Amino acid sequence: MQNKEASQDVQDRLANWDFERLVPPSCVLCDDQYTFLTHWAMERDKDLRAALYTYQRDGVLRFFLDLSGPGFESLLLTSTDELKVLTGDRFARYFPKGSNHTVLMSNFLYEQTIDGTPLLDWLDAFLADDQDVWKDVIE
């Protein structure tokens, strides 16, 4: 995702990280948000599925995007809502509330549950392509 309001930040990342060279010119939606690279890939691989886990106000990501917590949450939900429309049941999100960046430094991987869906069950369902459990889970 990109915060287009922070144009200098975007230009700095393009210059310093050089990740734009990895975005195919044929990914025309990527001009809007790099999130759409997932859609581009799914158009080319009909078996590809994608799962996205992040906190709705991830403190590390919003720092790099120069966004407030609510600003990051809005960008995250808006851009992934659009991606969900384009990709249907081949893309699902697990978005807990909060500003953490990862579950690997805590027991959240084993203990986190949203609306009765434990994170580990959701991940297992993704691997098994179990559409009854692997669906959007947004707190």
Per-residue pLDDT at 2: 81
Could you tell me what percent of the chain has a pLDDT over 90?
Answer: 71
Tell whether the model's pLDDT for residue 10 goes beyond 80: no
Question: What does the mean pLDDT of the chain come to?
Answer: 92
CA-closest candidate to residue 75, choices 44, 46, 92, 54: 54
How much is the pTM?
A: 0.90
Q: Do 75 and 118 contact (CB within 8 A), yes or no?
A: no
CA-closest candidate to residue 114, choices 128, 105, 103: 103
Tell whether the model's pLDDT for residue 18 goes beyond 90: no
